[in-house]
Structure formats: structure tokens, C-alpha cells
Amino acid sequence: YYEDREFDREIVGTEITEAKDKIISRGTKIVWKTLAIPDGEIKYWKKMRVWATHYDSHCLGCNEWTSIGMKQGKGIIAVDPKIIKYRTKLYIPGYGMAIAGDTGGSIKGNIIDLGFEDAKTAGWKAQFVDIYLID
């Protein structure tokens, strides 16, 4: 009905402002970086600061299988899959190489839970650590 009809014409303002640059989103290009580790070097694409706790298959509510069907133990970590996708490979200083293969009720945001065969003898204490996503 209204395609070619004009209803009202009113000048709202005449102020002209200079354009300013503004970042409206982040790109998706992955930039690979290199990190020296005790066994040589690894290439990583993202570094994150997280709170790292530890667990084993004997904790309350745990068993020997992870939430995505992997065998729980050293090298398998619990993550918030909204932050780190399942099956992502990581390097964690003081722990080693790992795969994001589990989650837990208290693992929300930038918190990870490092898997061990026996958490009592693992020698890990909860701490902030930089982790490196390698895949």
C-alpha cells in the first residue's frame, strides 16, 4: 500500500561528526606461534590463563570413563566445552600434553580439571596456569 507514498519530511539535525575507527568483531584467522618446552618446541594458536585443579576416577561422581567416552586418567582434562571444545589438544606447563575429553559440574568458564590416575599422589595443587591450545 505505502511503497510510493511520502508521509512526512522533517529535518532532524544538521550536526556533522568525524568518523572514528571502531573494532566491531574479531577475525577468525589463526596465527600460529612457537613455544619452547622441555622436549623441544610446540606450535600453538591460543594461550589462555585458567584455574587448574585435578581429579581422578575415584572422586565423588567420577568413574573411569569421561563424559565423551574416553578412559579417564593422565592426559585427559575436564573443560567447559563452551570455552574449549572437546578433543582439543593442549599443552599445560607442569602437566604436559593433554586432550579436552571431559567436563564436570564445577568446570565453568576458565577452569580446567587435570586428570590423574591418583589425584592424592599426583603432586598438583590448584593454581592459575597458562595453557596452550595446539590443535
Q: What is the pLDDT of residues 29-84, one digit of tens each?
A: 889 999 999 999 999 999 999 999 999 988 877 889 999 999 999 999 999 999 99
Given this model, what pLDDT does residue 81 score? 96
What percent of the chain shows pLDDT beyond 70?
A: 96
Q: Within a 10 A sphere around the Cβ of 92, how many other Cβ atoms? A: 19
Q: What angle do CA 129, 130, 131 make, to 5 degrees?
A: 110
State how far the Cα of 88 lies from the Cα of 84, in Å rounded to an integer: 7
